[in-house]
Amino acid sequence: MAELILDVKDISKTFPGVRALDRVSFDLRKGEVHALVGENGAGKSTLMKILSGVYQPDGGTLTYKGKEVHFQSARESSEAGIGIIYQELNLVPHLTVAQNIYMGREPRTALGYLDDRKMNVDAAKILAELNVDISPAVRLNKLSISKQQMVEIAKALSKDSEVLIMDEPTSALTETEIDELFKVIHKLRSRGVGIIYISHRLEELKHIVDRITVFRDGRYISTTNYADITMEEIINKMVGRKLENMFPVRKNLPTQKKLLEVRHIVHGSILRDISFDLYEGEILGLSGLMGAGRSELARAIFGADPRDSGDIIRDGKKLDIRSPADAIRHGIAYLSENRKEEGLAVKMRIDQNVTMANLPEVSKRFGIISSAQELQATQNYVDELDIRTPSLVQVVNHLSGGNQQKVVVAKWLFRDSRILIFDEPTRGIDVGAKFAIYELIERLARKGVGVIVISSELPEILGMTDRVLVLHEGRLTATLRTKDTSQEEILNYAAGLGA
């Protein structure tokens, strides 16, 4: 059995109104990949922030390489050899890729000046190891979200960490990039690096994981060799109950009434003459590889991106949509995949976020916002969506990623939109909360709402939708009835290969 490099015993941590960790234990061996799983709010990220020196525990012990340690800062933990890749990117957009990778550790010349040449050369070596085609000299804000995520990974690898914490590292990556990341993980494991791997994509664990530990509601549940546990057992331990189905049963079929007609949408080479219909009560999937134009199509319908040509028709009437405000007025809502920048005001409270898209509804008396109405509306959605928070006036930035996503959903539900476009609605959300979102989407469709779901997870597309549109390089390559198709057929069309 490999030597322990990290041993956590009875760690506790309390925030105002929340017991985040309650005497949890966890250990990591050299050269192993140890998965840490649990629902949002289970305490995974809190423990990782303790290991990385961001938080200090209220009690318990942390032993690293045989010695008890008390990290007082992220720098102290990093210098000891513990690296972390956060779910939310921790990069500076206006700096170059190399500058981000070596921030605070920039190489210097003999005269003490920054050695940009060496920094670029060293960064290029790390990116090559990841098999990522990114120039070290390009500014970060010129890159896609998935490539920025690879820069975050390169930054962690550059520190030669002995323990590497990966918090949802694949959430924004393509399948090809995920494969490259897994190759790097296998290399690191062979070098004796201990890896703590956190992911809500449970199906990917089988490719890399040695052991798995489950947390629930801030408590330790179990640690098991991955080969000795089934997926069903993992999910049952995470949620504390048996989930009979991963997806809700569709209780109605779409009507024949066209709710939305999209005709000949063109936007440069990004969107090339795309047309489709959305029916009342339909859940329509939108699939394709990264860069196929899925989000760009959604943003064009919502007025967030311009259209060179094309029409958007609702209930038989052509709409003049030139901005998101126009789309919202016509009952169209868009839940962006980038919730922190485009879906939330993270420094404002939950109640303020839920009601911000429909302030007239809580300002009926003299145009003054009623705090009581805001709180009542918010309470309804906190209950319905199981948003885990100590208070309705909690600042959104203090919520877990999954609970932040639920606040975005609540905002558009309060607007009573008739057409909802969900862009990666369950990214960063745990398996139990995913089912709650799926149930919510199904209920909306049952009420006659038209729903478009963009997802990179094909099981989600196949499990949730009535039809699926497949895009390849900005073109619509197939419109398929979900019950009559398969992952293989969708992937073929997504790759431009046809049936």
pLDDT per residue as tens digits for the range 50-59: 999 999 999 9
- Give the pLDDT of residue 243: 58
Residue 216 in contact with residue 38, Cβ under 8 Å?
yes
- Give the pLDDT of residue 173: 75
- Give the pLDDT of residue 50: 94
Closest by CA to 448, choosing from 335, 299, 331, is 331
For CA atoms 180, 184, 187, 189, the dihedral sign is: negative
Residue ranges of the chain with per-residue pLDDT less than 70: 1, 17, 88, 241-245, 428, 430, 499
Residue 91 in contact with residue 97, Cβ under 8 Å?
no
Residue 126 in contact with residue 152, Cβ under 8 Å?
no
Give pLDDT tens digits for 6-43: 999 999 999 876 788 999 999 999 999 999 998 777 88
- Give the pLDDT of residue 37: 92
- The CA distance from 182 to 141, in Å, is 26
**Per-residue tokens: 497:** 């290969």
Domains and their CATH numbers in the chain: 4-239 (3.40.50.300), 258-494 (3.40.50.300)
- Give the pLDDT of residue 466: 95
- Give the pLDDT of residue 244: 60
- Give the pLDDT of residue 154: 87
* DSSP character string of 327-362: HHHTTEEEE-S-HHHHT--TTSBHHHHHHGGGGGGG
- Give the pLDDT of residue 242: 62
Using alpha carbons only, give the angle 180, 186, 187 rounded to the nearest 5 degrees: 90
Give the HSE-up count for residue 144: Cα atoms under 13 Å, Cβ half-sphere: 16
- Tell me the CA distances in angstroms from 48 to 17, 83, 87, 426, one per residue in order: 20, 10, 11, 22
**Per-residue tokens: 481:** 């009835």
Please name the residue that has the structure tokens 């369950």.
426
- Give the pLDDT of residue 262: 96
- Please tell me whether residue 18 adopts helix, strand or coil conformation: strand
> Which amino acid is residue 251, in one-letter code?
K
Please name the residue that has the structure tokens 């318990």.
60
- The CA distance from 256 to 110, in Å, is 74
**In angstroms, how far is the first alpha carbon of the chain from the final one?**
49
Give pLDDT tens digits for 444-483: 899 899 999 999 888 889 999 999 999 998 999 999 999 9
Give the HSE-up count for residue 406: Cα atoms under 13 Å, Cβ half-sphere: 30
- Give the pLDDT of residue 250: 83
Listed in sequence order, the DSSP H helices in 158-223 are: 175-190
- Give the pLDDT of residue 365: 80
